[in-house]
Chains A and B, each alone.
Chain A
C-alpha cells in the first residue's frame, strides 16, 4: 500500500523525495512552497489526524527543519484497515536568520498550540496565526532557549547564581 502511494505522489508533484524506511512509515522531503498542497492532498486521501509539529536546529548548515507528522483516524467502526497503521512525516527546510513560515491552522485546527510553542522556543514567526503570545515562559531571553547556541549552565550561573543568600546580604550591608 505504501508503494502505490509513493508512485501517486511522485507522479502528481515534482521536486519531492520519498523514502520508505520500514513497513508503516514514509518520509517526504520537499521545498517550502509545496508543503501546504501536499498536506491538503494527503488529508483528502484519509490522513486527517495531525500528531506532531516539531523543529530541528541544524546549526552547521545554518538552517531550521520543520517536521509535520500525520496519521489516520478510523473510518469504519467495526474493523481496522491498513491505512490506520501508517504515519507520514513531511519535512522542509527554512533559513536560520529571519526565520518565518506560514501557518497550517486552516487545514488542521489543532496546530495552534504547537506553533505557539515553536515560536517562543526557537524564534520562528508564523504568518496568519491568530495569537502568537508566550505559552509557557514568563521572561524574555536574548537567544530563544532551544537553539543550539544557548548555553544553559552559563545562564543559570548568571541569573540564579548571582542572587546572594539572606545572611550574605545582612553581612554585606553592615
Chain B
C-alpha cells in the first residue's frame, strides 16, 4: 500500500488547543508521528527579564490557561526562596485550599474535553456546568473568573470573606452528589470501556526512560507525587492517599484522574476543619519599585494537576530576574511520549490518546 503524509493540524475538531502533529500513514495505521509545536510561542522567558519581580505576575499566569494558579504558586515559591521570606501559618492553609479548588476545576475541564471529543455531549454539559459553579466561588474570593492574581510573595493577597467556607462546602456537596451519575453514564459504561481500553499503552520502563510524570506514571502503579515527597504549604499536616491504577492505557489514566478529583474534594473538607481562625495571611515585603534580591540560584518544584512542575531561577542582585526557565509536565508528554504512544494505532484514536495524556498546548510553547 502507499504511504501518505497527513497534517492533524491546528484547525481540527479533535484537537484541544493550538498544536499540530504530522502523521505518516499507510491505510489506517500510523507508521511515524512527529509533533509540531510553536503556534503559541511568545518568548516568556525573554519577556520576564525586562520586567521587575512584581510586574511578572500577570505574565506568569498566562502560561497555562486552564489552570493558572499553580504557576503563580511556583513563581512565588522561587522568589521566596531567593529572598528568604517565610509564609505565616494561616497563609499556608489558604494556599492549599486554593490550589485544591483549582485542581478540581482543571479535572472537570479535562472531562469536558474528553467527552466532547468522543461526541458525548450530555456528560460534557454536566462537567462544564459544575466547573462554572466553582468559578463563581473564585469570583467571590478574588474578583475574576479565570486569571485571579491572588498569591503574592509572602502569603496571599487577602483573607477569606465571612461565611465563604460554608458556601464552598455546599458547592462541593452539590458536585460530589452527582458522581454516581458520572460513573454510571461515563466512567464505568461498557461503551466507553470498549472505546478506551488497550489504547495508547505506556509501560513503566518506557515511562521512566522518557521522563513521564503525573497521571501517565500513576497509571502504571508508581505513587510519584511531590505533595508527599517534598511537602510544601500545608500538605504535611493532613493525611491523604495517592490513587494509582495498573495497566498503563488510556482507560487507566482517566480513572486515575477521576480518583484524584474525588480525593481532592475530601482533602478540602479536612483542611477547612484544621485551619486556624485568626492570624496574619501575608508577611510584608519591601517597596516593589525598589526591591533588589541578593544574587543566587534556586530550583523549586510543586505538583500541578498534570504532573511535576519545576522552576529554575537565577538572580544577579538587581531588580529584574536574570534567567527564568519553567519545566512543565506537558513538555515531555507532548514531544517525547506522544510520538512513541502513537505508533501502530489507527487514525481515529489520535485525539483519544492526546487528551488522555493530558497535554495542554501553551505549556509546551511558553
Interchain CB contact under 8 A, A138 and B323: no
Residues from chain B with a CB closer than 8 A to the CB of A89 are 297, 299
B288 an interface residue at 8 Å Cβ cutoff? no
**Known contacts A49-B211, A80-B229, A87-B299; A136 and B365 CB within 8 A of each other:** yes
A135 touches B312 (CB 8 A): no
Q: Which of A127-166 contact B (CB under 8 A)?
A: 135-138, 145-146, 150, 152
Q: Is A56 an interface residue (CB 8 A)?
A: yes
Give 1 or 0 for each of B37-53: 1 = CB within 8 Å of chain A CB: 11001010111001000
User: CA of A18 to CA of B118 in the docked complex: distance in angstroms?
Assistant: 53
Q: Are B228 and A77 in contact (CB under 8 A)?
A: no
Q: Across the interface, name the chain A residue whose C-beta is closest to B311.
A: A52
Q: Are B335's CB and A109's CB within 8 A? A: no
Instruction: Select which of B38, B41, B222, B365 is within 8 A of A73 by beta carbon.
Output: B222
A113 engages B331 (CB within 8 Å): yes
Instruction: For chain B, residues 310 to 366, give those with C-beta under 8 angstroms from any C-beta of chain A.
Output: 310, 312, 314, 322-323, 325, 327, 331-332, 335-336, 365
Q: Does B5 contact A (CB under 8 A)?
A: no
Q: C-beta contact mask, A102-124 vs B, less than 8 Å → 1, else 0?
A: 00000011101100000000000
Asked if A95 is at the interface (CB within 8 A of a chain B CB), the reply is no
Fill in one digit per residue for B170-190: 1 if any A CB lies within 8 Å of its CB, else 0. Answer: 000000000000000000000
Query: In the docked arrangement, what's the CA distance between A110 and B332, Å?
Result: 7
* Least CB distance, B85 to chain A, in whole angstroms: 15
Closest 7 CB pairs of A and B: A136-B38, A110-B211, A113-B335, A136-B41, A52-B327, A54-B325, A110-B336
> What are 6 pairs between A and B in contact, CB < 8 Å?
A73-B208, A73-B222, A77-B221, A113-B331, A136-B41, A152-B43
**Chain A residues proximal to chain B, CB less than 8 Å:** 21, 24-25, 27, 48-52, 54, 56-57, 67, 69, 73-74, 77, 80, 84-85, 87, 89, 108-110, 112-113, 135-138, 145-146, 150, 152
Residues of B participating in the A interface, judged by any CB pair closer than 8 Å: 37-38, 41, 43, 45-47, 50, 208-211, 221-224, 228-230, 296-297, 299, 301, 308, 310, 312, 314, 322-323, 325, 327, 331-332, 335-336, 365
